[in-house]
Copies of this chain bind each other. A is one copy, B any other.
Amino acid sequence: MEDKYNLLKVHIEKIVALTEEEFAFVKQSFIRKEYKKSDCIFKEGENVKYIYFVLSGLLKLYYTDENSKEHIVSFAMEDWWESDIQAFYTNGDASFTLECLEDTELLCLSLENFERMCNNLQKMERFFLRKSIAGHIGSQQRILSFLTSGAKERYEQLITRNPVLVQRIPKLVLASYLGVSRETLSRLFS
């Protein structure tokens, strides 16, 4: 149990150092939850109560169009944060669905606890600023990947940035993320 929270501590301390007392305060702001493969954390149209820090497992965040086709916005695995951030910060409804691709364990942070942490511990405000900038950069890169015409180029960008992620994602899901057929993906792989 302690060990699991240790992943969060190591993660935070890459950016800011915390005393034992400070980390105890941070820790109690989170709720730990377990999900099975194929469980949905939230679905499109539902209220989004938390941002999630992934302790183990793999998630996909996706949008479903009017033809029921899935479009993947992003993936998240251990040591990453994920949510429908607009819905979370504005207390609105989800535009996306967040689903487990593997059995997954999450630390869940509510908006109330997020704000309490920032108000009481300047280091955590700094931490979240750095993470938010990183998230914003990630989104700008995903936009760039939409604008980049070639699927081969998109695939190469992804494998350069996240080789471990690419190994773990089912091929059909990866093909969907890249916007290509499974056959095209097989050609890229070889």
Contact = CB atoms under 8 A, between A and B. Distances in A.
Given A73-B147, A147-B65, A129 B125 contact: yes
A126 interface: yes
Contact of A129 (B65, B129, B139, B140): B129
Contacts of A32: none
A45 interface: no
Contacts of A181: none
Q: Per DSSP, are chain A's interface residues mostly helix, strand or loop, or mixed?
A: helix
A133 B95 contact: no
**How many A residues are at the interface, by size bracket?**
20 to 34
Interface string A120-147: 0010011011001101110111111011
Q: What number of copies of this chain does the assembly contain? A: 2
Contacts of A122: 122, 125
Contacts of A132: 129, 132-133, 136
A91 interface: no
A169 interface: no
Contact of A143 (B125, B137, B139, B148): B139
A94 to B, nearest CB: 11
A144 B95 contact: yes
Contact of A135 (B63, B126, B136): B136
Interface of A: 63, 65-67, 71, 73, 84-86, 89-90, 95-96, 118, 122, 125-126, 128-129, 132-133, 135-137, 139-144, 146-149
